[in-house]
Structure 1
């Protein structure tokens, strides 16, 4: 006959064997430039919602050949790379491969609808082509996530239409890109890394802050080269959404 004590010991052993091991959830950390000052991190209470790689153009206006280029908005397509962050269980890719994504994507022809007669400019009213996944040689396929653009009031917007998130933002902080950052096809330089916060215009949905990090290309041409008028410069970057 099996004793009550034996049954209790067997039950306790089974519970101990089958109890799941509690592992802390993997939380990616923002990259750093390695410069004298870094972008401030988001508050601990904020949750990382998505990470995207963006491919598009930065626009600039030159009044004349002797002026400095004035930033005049941007247009980009966003692709979801959240699950590929190095360290992510099962789907994370090597850090070296991850860091190369912006530079590799910058070599890919722009898929924006072109402005007639412009090398890089996008169509003024219909800049975005049909929604497609990003297929970059040597990298996992990244699904389409949304668009980045400036609205009629020149407010930066991020519309992550595939997941119902939207950010209307203003600049909170910025630091120079590392000296060794990819300067882009025009060799003008990489745009700054930015911390962007909610604009207060009531246009955001589910997002409070956006970071632009690991930039490649995007710095405007000197006006004595570009000439008077608007010119566009291709760029790529990672966007982190909180």
Structure 2
């Protein structure tokens, strides 16, 4: 998979009128991801979101696994990291562990980030910033 195949295209989410992720229905159907330029689709594994308490959650329903995560450590993304699909700088690389209640997965590394840094809010309301990354999950 070429490193720029996802970080130069729009992130596959259902969007609001302003272009941000929908707050009520952000995820498209559970299906393989078709990417222009790739002969094969990328298999669907699950979804990453922040639960109602703001806790990072990885629901890998295709593998019947769940990680409710907490930050253990992190480092700044390299200065050479891609700006991502919206042209913002890359978010930190993270090491996350089980915050309790996980099933089958106990830690994840977020590396090779592209974008995701806030582009800044100009008015009160909701906002989102797209990024792509590579997640490594461990049981």
Asked whether the two chains share a fold, i.e. TM above 0.5, the reply is yes
- Is 1:187 the equivalent of 2:80? no
Give the aligned length: 137
- Kindly name which structure, 1 or 2, has the bigger radius of gyration based on alpha carbons: 1
Give the TM-score of the pair, scaled to structure 2. Answer: 0.88
Aligned to 1:55: none
C-alpha distance in 1 between matches for 2:114 and 2:27: 21
Q: Does the Cα contact within 8 Å between 2:11 and 2:85 map onto a contact in 1? A: no
Q: Which stretches in structure 2 are left out of the alignment for 5+ residues? A: none
C-alpha distance in 2 between matches for 1:126 and 1:111: 12
Q: Does the Cα contact within 8 Å between 1:106 and 1:234 map onto a contact in 2? A: no
**Candidates 204, 216, 233, aligned match of 2:114:** 216
Aligned to 1:18: none
C-alpha distance in 2 between matches for 1:185 and 1:161: 26
Q: What's the C-alpha RMSD, in Å, of the aligned pairs? A: 1.7
C-alpha distance in 2 between matches for 1:178 and 1:156: 23
**How far off its partner does 1:152 sit?**
1.0
C-alpha distance in 1 between matches for 2:84 and 2:15: 19
**How far off its partner does 1:184 sit?**
1.9
C-alpha distance in 2 between matches for 1:185 and 1:156: 22
Q: Does the Cα contact within 8 Å between 2:33 and 2:44 map onto a contact in 1? A: yes
- Is 1:239 the equivalent of 2:139? no
Aligned to 2:21: 122
Matches within 5 A, 1:18-33: none
Instruction: Identify, as 1 or 2, the structure richer in helix.
Output: 1
SS where residue 162 of structure 1 aligns? helix
Q: Which stretches in structure 1 are left out of the alignment for 5+ residues? A: 1-96
Larger relative contact order (C-alpha < 8 A, sep ≥ 6)?
A: 1
Give the TM-score of the pair, scaled to structure 1. Answer: 0.53
C-alpha distance in 1 between matches for 2:78 and 2:40: 26
Structure 2 vs 1, CA of residues 155 and 104 (structure 1 numbering), >3 Å: closer, same or farther?
A: same
